[in-house]
Amino acid sequence: MSNKPNNNERTPLLNGLNGESSNGNHNHILDRGRERSAAFQFFFDSKHTPGNDSDNFVVRSLAYTWHVTKVTLLSNYVNFLLIMVPIGIAAGRLGWNSTAVFTINFFAIIPLAAVLSFATEEISLKLGETLGGLLNATFGNAVELIVSIVALRDNQIEVVQSSMLGSILSNLLLVMGMCFLFGGLRHRGSTGAGTEQTFSSAVAQTTCSLMALSSASLVIPAALYGVLDQKQTDNGDKDRSILVLSRGTAIILLVLYAMYLIFQLRTHSNLFDAESQVGEDEEPEEPTLGPIAATAVLVVVTILVAVCADYLVGSIDDLVESANISKAFIGLILIPIVGNAAEHVTAVVVALRNKMDLAMGVAIGSSIQIALGVTPFLVIVGWIIGRDMTLHFETFETVAFAVSVLVVTYTVQDGKSNYLEGAMLLGLYIIIAVAFFATPGDFLDKATDLISGSN
């Protein structure tokens, strides 16, 4: 046996000293762990914030305010762009270059749209299925509505019309195309034995019928305008005829939209149950904000969107002159990206999870809201504030919309999708985008000429 001392043996004194040292290190590690845990809770824990349960009213109020702010900031990955909001407002107030003002406020509205969607969803979770669905239908396109009202107030009717059409096309072609493409590639099956994703054909047919109706509501004013133009009718009489037709059609479309909401949310809600697909292993989602806090967030963000939209729209004229791009391209392609970025990502993610009914609900449902709800509502708003907003869109825009609705109808009527159909829809969207991008900035000025002629 070796007489070498065993390093593991300790005398009582050494044991005591080492025990104290060990306990000290252990306590130090625990303290650092608690500090890290407290810091994590304060900055990144969306469930709890230190101070929320304090007996001091001031501390509790400050803690809850920070909790609401923190939960809102952590609600979406695009919220890091919120830093653009104060920069965009400062750029507008200080009169920066129009390109800078447009670009900064463009990126500022993207996260505001995501926060608006988050706050709306938080409130709807408390209201139940029917009222929650109505709230989502009302605020689902709030950004586009706010931007359009600001543009309408500034008499930018061509931008309003293009942004409405662009929102519909981006949902029908871009979003649905990406859902079909990426979802189809993910769930394509084995080589030689490919599979297709499925969704409710009844819902698709109903919504496509409504889209065809909205397409007709644009084609008929364009046809009437063409007939009156051939007859060389006086400009004042021609414009009055288009206004009367547009306002009457808008009222009818709003009535039909209300009937659609009743059909979807009440009488035939069973047909739309698949839109709220929830996995068997997933628990129902619980709201992270109270209704009062979510409403406060909704109000604040709506005001910020209105301010940023005001500066964004105000810079469009100078941007068109300096960059030589058409207002139609700005309204048709750029502005819809602002309001729908978060919804686009959501639709693609659920399509990758093979929840195609939910993806279709986001894409087609949003298009129905714009076509039957927001657009005719803007015609009525223009009527109230003295702006001649009509459903007579530029002929090229009307044709592009009608062709898109026709292609989408043929694509979805069988209740199945694959990546080839997705590529087809994306291809059509890119063709339309290139066509409007290639259009000279001052060419599609029908709306401006119509306004000046009527005045």
| Residue 322 structure tokens | 């300096």
Query: What is the spatial distance between Cα 362 and Cα 349, in angstroms, rounded to a whole number?
Result: 11
Task: Confirm whether 28 is domain-assigned.
Answer: no
pLDDT at 317: 80
Q: Are 343 and 366 in contact (CB under 8 A)?
A: yes
Q: How far is CA 455 from CA 392, 444, 452, in A?
A: 17, 19, 5
pLDDT at 16: 46
Whole-angstrom Cα Rg for the chain: 28
Give per-residue pLDDT as tens, 279-298.
444 555 666 777 788 888 88
- C-alpha angle 288-289-295 in degrees, rounded to nearest 5: 150
Residue 309 — very low, low, confident or very high, per pLDDT cuts 50/70/90?
confident
Q: Give the closest residue to 385 by CA, choosing from 225, 222, 150, 163.
A: 150
Query: What is the spatial distance between Cα 398 and Cα 194, in angstroms, rounded to a whole number?
Result: 37
Give per-residue pLDDT as tens, 11-64.
444 444 454 445 555 555 445 555 556 555 555 555 666 655 666 666 666 766
pLDDT at 189 over 70: yes
Task: Confirm whether 27 is domain-assigned.
Answer: no
Query: What is the spatial distance between Cα 158 and Cα 165, in angstroms, rounded to a whole number?
Result: 11
Higher pLDDT, 8 or 331: 331
Residues near 143 by Cβ (< 8 Å), separated by ≥ 6? 109, 112, 113, 116, 305, 309, 338, 339
Task: Confirm whether 114 is domain-assigned.
Answer: yes
Task: Confirm whether 67 is domain-assigned.
Answer: yes
Greatest Cα pair distance, the chain, in angstroms, is 120
Give per-residue pLDDT as tens, 375-426.
999 999 999 998 889 998 888 888 999 999 999 988 888 888 899 999 999 9
- Average pLDDT over the chain, rounded to an integer: 77
pLDDT at 381: 92
Task: Confirm whether 14 is domain-assigned.
Answer: no
Task: Confirm whether 36 is domain-assigned.
Answer: no
Query: What is the spatial distance between Cα 423 and Cα 415, in angstroms, rounded to a whole number?
Result: 17
Q: Residues of the chain with pLDDT > 70: what percent?
A: 74
Q: How many domains does the chain have?
A: 1
Residue 446 — very low, low, confident or very high, per pLDDT cuts 50/70/90?
very low
Q: Are 209 and 364 in contact (CB under 8 A)?
A: no
Task: Confirm whether 366 is domain-assigned.
Answer: yes
pTM of the model: 0.75
Give per-residue pLDDT as tens, 217-261.
989 988 888 888 777 666 777 888 889 999 999 999 999 998 988
DSSP letters, 100-135, are HHHHHHHHHHHHHHHHHHHHHHHHHHHH-HHHHHHH
The helix/strand/coil state of 353 is coil
What's the domain range around 179?
57-454
Q: Give me the helices (H) in 231-265, please.
A: 235-262
The listed range with the strongest mean pLDDT (244-258, 265-279, 307-321, 438-452) is 244-258
Q: Give the closest residue to 432 by CA, choosing from 406, 399, 409.
A: 399
pLDDT at 107 over 70: yes
Residues near 241 by Cβ (< 8 Å), separated by ≥ 6? 224, 228, 233
Task: Confirm whether 5 is domain-assigned.
Answer: no
- φ, ψ of residue 193 in degrees (nearest 5): -140, 55
Residue 451 — very low, low, confident or very high, per pLDDT cuts 50/70/90?
very low
H-run or E-run covering 322: helix 316-323
Exposed (0-12), middle (13-18) or buried (19+): which is 165, by Cβ within 10 Å?
buried
Tell me, what DSSP letter sits at residue 53? Answer: T
Which CATH number belongs to the domain containing residue 134 in this structure? 1.20.1420.30
